[in-house]
Structure 1
């Protein structure tokens, strides 16, 4: 079932979107629908369901980070050294 939706957007964005839709022979409504569907679909996926690429799987476990590693402290130390 389709439902009407009213949006307020920047005029130049609307014009560019209309041109894009015309060029790709698709309605602006369909573009918005597909975009919103992709956002909703991404939020429904749990981290365990995300498939890793072979490269990421290969790199997994290459380095080990200590349990007590403080990345913020490390970053602060880096910035202090950089801007001395």
Structure 2
């Protein structure tokens, strides 16, 4: 059963989304429904989605990699 849903979204985002939907041969409703299915499935079972599973382990980091330091450094470069 389908149900109507009203959303408030920035006009520019809607325009880009409609263009994307048109270019991919889908409706905006279909895109949003698929997105909602994806995010709720991930949170229900607590497991990684198949898309995320494909990229896990692709990048090898050094043992001394400091995630907080790298994030701080990247933010400094971006904002300073």
TM range, normalised to the smaller chain? Answer: 0.5 to 0.7
Gaps of 5+ in 1: 57-62, 64-74, 76-84
Trace 1:1-84 onto structure 2 (pairs within 5 A).
1-47=1-47, 56=57
TM-score by length of 1: 0.56
TM-score by length of 2: 0.59
Give the CA RMSD over aligned residues: 3.2
Number of equivalent positions: 60
SS of aligned partner of 1:18: helix
Gaps of 5+ in 2: 58-62, 69-80
Q: Which aligned segments of 4 or more residues in structure 1 are displaced greater than 3 angstroms?
A: 49-53
Max Rg structure? 1
